[in-house]
Amino acid sequence: MLLGVLFVLGIVNFAVHKAVLESDHPLLDTLPRPFTANGGRLSLAVEFLVLLASMMLSAHGWPAAAWGYALYSALNAITGWLLLDDRV
């Protein structure tokens, strides 16, 4: 069950991440070029590694990793909303 919740949170994180990358927000210009080049493939790979680490740790008896990823997801959602709604 826990891995299913993490998987769904991962899908949401990827969707928000991709939407922010495609928004061409001026704040993206402050990021290092490799993170935004090629459609943000490097930053999406880092996003995948964070999800994978969280799922692996949670599957091996570290439920705190799931709580950490849930907090990370909430912060991503808030940041994505702020950037996509032009509040920043």
- Encode pLDDT of 20-65 as tens digits: 999 988 888 888 888 888 888 999 999 999 999 999 999 999 999 9
Distance CA 32, CA 41 (A): 13
For the chain, give every domain's residue range.
2-84
CA distances from 50 to 12, 19, 26, 30, 66 (A): 14, 18, 25, 22, 11
Tokens of 13: 């994180």
User: Could you tell me how far CA 36 lies from the centroid of its own chain?
Assistant: 14
pTM score, whole prediction: 0.87
Q: Between 88 and 75, whose confidence is greater?
A: 75
